[in-house]
Amino acid sequence: MFKIVTKRVLSAVNKLMEIEAPLVARKARPGQFIILRVRENGERIPLTVADSSKERGTITIIFQEIGKTTKELGSLQEGDYLSDFVGPLGRPMELPSSGRVVAVGGGVGIAPIYPKVKAFYDAGLEVISIIGARTADLLILEDEMRAVSSELHICTDDGTKGHHGFVSDLLQPLLDDTSKKIDEIIAVGPLPMMRVVAEQTRPYGVKTLVSLNPIMVDGTGMCGCCRVTVGGETKFSCVDGPVFDAHQVDFAELTRRSRTYLDKEKIALEKFEHECRCGGEK
Ligand code: FES
């Protein structure tokens, strides 16, 4: 059993939890993820390691309450326990040894991009961060991102904070500024956002990485649920990723696959919310 030692509400739908998992914390590196179950027989969900502390023996996760399991997770309090917490999984991200990196985080994608930005910054790279959300209330980790970025640019779809528009609007002038070379771009966020960034940077030939979060079950390369086509080859996000070359990812296929269980997810969420309202068993 894995204890929730800290819980923070970041926005109306985003929550942060620090989980006591010393064996995972000892090995976790930026770019990796964990799979948890809230309770026995519950759904297994993958979440990026947002932070880790070997000293405290903890892993920090950040999640958006969008489905049944994330809502169930969000209803737990400090002192409660999770039934399973497996990791670290996936390949750690490779760090460039020097240069200028642009990090683009959208929505809840700001959570997984934060440890990567922190690792770049700690390694002495110049990091320009762009973060965006639908509206100001959904923008998370602004202070944390500012603390590990050389520059931080903010946008919201509705203009309630920062630039009124999309992360791609803020990325464009950086791509066009030929006086300052960009060595690498990493983008994490909703699939449409990562797809737009991939197409935007392709003509410039700038190395662009994305961190994918497809449907996963076992997280160890056995079930095939997380498969994604990269450069014409089938890869498993859980063992070959989750970070891939954005220009090689088949986003059209990935988008189709991500919708496979939408109807079932909707039914599970409605049932969960009905049970919560009635005070019944979850
Ligand atoms: S989650 Fe099963 S192969 Fe990746």
pLDDT over 90 at 150, yes or no? yes
Q: Does residue 84 carry a pLDDT above 50? A: yes
* pLDDT at site 77: 95
Q: Are 121 and 127 in contact (CB under 8 A)?
A: yes
Q: Is 46 in the pocket of ligand 1 (CB under 6 A)?
A: no
Q: Are strands 227-230 and 208-211 parallel, antiparallel or unpaired?
A: unpaired
Q: Compute, in angstroms, the gap from residue 176 CA to the centroid of ligand 1.
A: 39
Model pLDDT for residues 21-68, shown as the tens digit of each residue: 999 999 998 889 999 999 988 889 999 898 899 999 999 998 888 888
Q: Is the CB of 217 under 6 A from ligand 1?
A: yes
- The residue assigned the tokens 């095939």 is 224
Find out whether the beta carbon of 190 lies less than 6 Å from any atom of ligand 1: no
Please indicate whether the domains covering 2-89 and 100-258 agree at the CATH topology level. Answer: no
φ/ψ (deg, to 5) at 106: -120, 130
Average pLDDT over residues 131-156: 94
Question: CA distances (Å), 255 to each of 210, 262, 265, in order?
Answer: 14, 12, 16
Ligand 1 atom index nearest CA of 217? 1
Domain 2-89 has CATH 2.40.30.10: yes
Q: Which pLDDT score, from 0 to 100, does residue 82 have?
A: 96
pLDDT at 270: 67
User: Residue 217 in contact with residue 44, Cβ under 8 Å?
Assistant: yes
Q: What is the pLDDT at residue 282? A: 43
Average pLDDT over residues 221-232: 91
* pLDDT average, residue stretch 212-241: 90
pLDDT by residue (tens digit) across 174-210? 999 988 889 999 999 999 999 999 999 999 999 999 9
Q: What is the mean pLDDT of residues 60-77?
A: 90
Q: Is 70 exceeded by the pLDDT of residue 232?
A: yes
Domains of the chain, by residue range, sit at 2-89, 100-258
Which residue lies with its CA nearest to atom 2 of ligand 1?
223
How much is the pLDDT for 160?
A: 96
Q: Is the CB of 215 under 6 A from ligand 1?
A: no
**C-alpha 224 – ligand 1 centre gap (Å):** 5
pLDDT score of 276 more than 80: no
State the pLDDT confidence band at 252, using cuts at 50, 70 and 90: very high
Q: Is 221 in the pocket of ligand 1 (CB under 6 A)?
A: yes
Could you tell me if the CB of 223 is within 6 A of ligand 1? yes
With a cut of 60, say whether residue 172 has pLDDT above it: yes
The 10s digit of each residue's pLDDT in 109-125 is 898 889 889 989 988 99
Which class in CATH covers the domain with range 100-258?
alpha beta
Average pLDDT, the chain: 89
- Say if residue 281's pLDDT is above 60: no
Inform me whether the pLDDT recorded for 265 exceeds 70: no
